[in-house]
Each structure stands twice: as C-alpha cells, then as structure tokens.
Structure 1
Amino acid sequence: MYEFQPGRINKINFPSEILERDVTLSIYIPKDFTELFKYKVVFCFDGADFFSFGRIHRTYESLRETNEVERAIFVGFHYEDVEKRRAEFHPQGERTPLTVKAMANEILPFIDQTFPTFKVGNARILLGDSLAGSVALMTALSYPRIFSQVGLLSPQHDENIKVLIERCQYTEQLSIWHAVGLGEADFKLPTSGKRADFLTPNRELNQIIEQHGFTYQYVEFDGGHQWKSWKPLLSDLLKHFLSDNISF
C-alpha cells in the first residue's frame, strides 16, 4: 500500500500492464485534504514539468486559500526520456494509443479506488503542454464521457488529431480550454535544434474545434513555447475548470 502525505508531492511507481512498464506518477494531495469530502482530479501529462516548472500545486493552493477553486487532487504522469515521450505522447507515436488506454483503464481506476473522488467525467481534468497536450486531447476525444474536461498548452496538431475530432461522439459533453503563444510562429526545438511553427497549426486546430460543437475557450498569449510563458496561464486555467459549484 502507498502512503500519501497532504501538502506534498508523493511520487510512486505505478505498474502498467498496458504499457508494460512502471509509470512514475506524482500525486499531490492538498494541504486541507480530508476523507470527509470528495475531490476533482487534475491529470497532468508531463507531470514532472507541471510540478517543477509550472508549480501548478502552488498556484492551486493560492487559489484555494481565497476560495476561488474547488477541492482537487493532482496526478502527474511522467515521461521516461525524450524518445519515449515522443513514442507515447505524439499523435503519431506507436505507443500513444497504449498511453490513452492506460490512463482510462489503469491509472484512473487506481486514483478512484485510492481517494474520495467524484466518479463523473466533468470532475476529471486532463492537462498537457506541447506533445503532452496532444495526448491529453487524444485521451479526452477517445473517452469524452470519462474525461470531459481538457486543457491544452500549445499542443502539437496533425491529421490524426483532426480525425479523432471528426469521429468523436458525445461532443456536447467535452469542454476544451486551448492556448497558444504568439511567439510560437518560429522557435527552436530544444531537442533537435530545428525551427518549428506551432502557432499556425494551433490556429487550424482552433478552427476545427469550433466547427464541432464542443464547449470551447481559445486564448492567444504573448509568449513562446516554454514554461516561462505557460506558467502564468495556470491560474486562469485552474479557475476555468475548478471554480464551478465550489464546495468549501
């Protein structure tokens, strides 16, 4: 059995039969955690980055102190290395369908069995940046009744994403928050050093999403494809998904 301490990031190795590897999960239990209340769950792909660079748990606690957000638990899904991240998160990654399946069939049930959570789709939020945003969106599109809230920070968009959007059923249940930086029209990829344009495909993604009946909010911000630009967005992102029907 795992032991989880409130107010701390609890790191565990979760055995996934679907991915055939242990997945490192970082689970943050809020400082005011109590078994007497139920919690929403925020799942973060690129979990280590959301905690280390985004400090999402600190943003949450600040908002919680001022009663701006509901009770929530944060679960970070780590990637092993850059190459395996691409294989498991990229829209065309050979293992990305396994990541989607593992989240719905293994990781979510584990969280629901371990903590007092709301067992409904609109109490589960998927977040991701860049490739992690792609797999977050693909998971929500594949299981819109299980994960019906998804926040995207500059996701990679291609034909595979477009096909999933067009095939998605229950579009009326899915709520999408989507942001991209104006400085992302031309930036250097940290791994390959190549130049990339994320702004244009994200604008194309915006147009596609708007045509399919989702609840949708789109933001363009002054900044680039980096956590320095994404971190200031997290407060609005959390309030967007965690401020309805606040329970104290």
Structure 2
Amino acid sequence: MIRGKIEERKFYSTALDEEITLLIYLPATFSPLYKYSLLIASDGRDYFQLGRLSRVADELLDEEKIENVIIVGVPYENVKDRRSKYHPEGTKFDAYMRFLAQELVPYLDAEFPTYQIGMGRGLIGDSLAGTISLMTASRYPHTFGKVILHSPYVNLKVMEAVKKVPAHSFSVDHVIGLAETDVPTGDGVNKNFLEENRELSLVFQEKGFQYTYLEVDGNHTWKTWQKDMTRALHDNYTK
C-alpha cells in the first residue's frame, strides 16, 4: 500500500494575528484532476500521531471504501494556546472560529480541487477541540456540512448554541466513553462528560439532526478515540 503524504505549511491568520502551522494530508493518488472533500481537525497533530488518522485514511482509500478526502490538521502550540482558542470562554475562541471559516476554508479551496460546498467540508475534534468544531459549524452552518465529535466539552454556552441551529444545517457524529464520569479539566474541577454529552445528545435528537450517537467503552483518552477512527472516517466519507 502506497501511503499518502503530510505537507507542513505556514499560514498567517489575520483573525488570530499569528502564523499557524497546517498539516495537510494528501492521498497517495492525489491529482488536481480529481475533486476532494475536506476534513479539518483541530488538535491536528494529535489526530495524526495519536489517532493515526492518516494511516486509517490510507487503508480506507486503498480499499476504495471512502471518497477522496484531504485532511487538514491544525495543531496547538501548548496547553495555554489550546485553551485560549478551543474553550468557549477562551480569549481567542471567536477569532479561531473566524480563522477556520473565513480564512482557512477559502485558502484550501484556492489551493486544492475541493468541492467548495458545505457538504464537502467536515470538522473533527476531541474534548475541547470537539467543542470548537461543533461551535464553528453552529456559527457557520453553510460552510461546514458535517461534524465528528469525540467526547466534546459541554457547558451551557454550547447547549444554547446548538439549540439555535436549524436541524438540517449539518450532520453530527458523536462519540462518548462510558467511563468519562470524572474527568479533570483545566478549570481545576472534574466534570461528568458522559452525563453532559447525554444531555447534548438529547438536543440533537429532539431537533432532528442527521445524527449518529455512540457510547463506547473507554475513558477520556486517545486510547478510546483512536479505536473509533476507522468507523468515523468510513461512516462520514463513504463512497
């Protein structure tokens, strides 16, 4: 099996007023003659290294089980940087959403042969990266057509944002671990992620979203989320 490649690029964000590193996975058979869907991952380096997402994509593409897809990882610099951009109360939270929707998407559409429609673009994230992915899709539902969530951090601000989104704006794939009942957070308190994700799940179901919800064995760690990579990529990008 020939593996795809991951290109590292630098991108200056006006919204964030900083240079952002992009990790761009291109399939082994990449050609400008083909059209590609997009999947944008916050916690991007983690998804490639700990989630092994590019390896999973290689295998599914080689077996012709998914459509052509370009995966763009956006890494964080450190814990403080991650929290400022991904946490609903973070100082760069709104700016990071603008970066994703108003700067990164136009850049990718200009650089690569993408479909340039909402259903051709997805967001994926774990924990706080899942939160920012969901909130970005909620704010820009015409830009992003699907969201894949691994154990997102949920609070009142997140719940209220989802309640305001029209039900058919985007599809949601939502996974939570059954052991995520006492998870340490950067706030210095422990949260019951399972209970709060169940409450979020009810909102998605009541509103009639195109929605997949899974409760799986495991804790709030990459050991849990990595096991879901093949299913998540296959189910959301099936040919």
Work out whether 1:68 is the aligned partner of 2:65.
yes
Percent identity of the aligned residues?
A: 36
For 2:111, the equivalent position in structure 1 comes to 114
TM-score by length of 2: 0.95
Which of 221, 224, 227 aligns to 1:229? It is: 224
Work out whether 1:176 is the aligned partner of 2:168.
no
Structure 1 residue identity aligned to 2:233: L
For 2:235, the equivalent position in structure 1 comes to 240
Deviations along 1:191-248, one digit per CA (max 9) or x if unpaired, are: 68754321111111111111212111100000011111100101110111110xx2xx
Match of 2:132, SS?
helix
For 2:75, the equivalent position in structure 1 comes to 78
Structure 2 residue identity aligned to 1:218: Y
Structure 2 CA distance, aligned partners of 1:205 and 1:182?
15
Structure 2 CA distance, aligned partners of 1:174 and 1:68?
22
1:158 Cα offset (Å): 0.7
Match of 2:113, SS?
coil
Deviations along 1:60-80, one digit per CA (max 9) or x if unpaired, are: 111111111000001001111
Q: Which runs of 4+ in 1 moved over 4 A?
A: 191-194
For 1:27, the equivalent position in structure 2 comes to 24
1:7 Cα offset (Å): 2.0
For 1:48, the equivalent position in structure 2 comes to 45
For 1:3, the equivalent position in structure 2 comes to none
* More divergent stretch after superposition (219-228 vs 194-203): 194-203
| Pairs within 5 Å for 1:1-248 | 7-169=4-166, 171-189=167-185, 195-243=190-238, 246=239
1:9 Cα offset (Å): 1.3
8 Å contact from structure 1 (residues 91, 157) kept in 2: no
Query: Across the two proteins, how many residue pairs are aligned to each other?
Result: 237
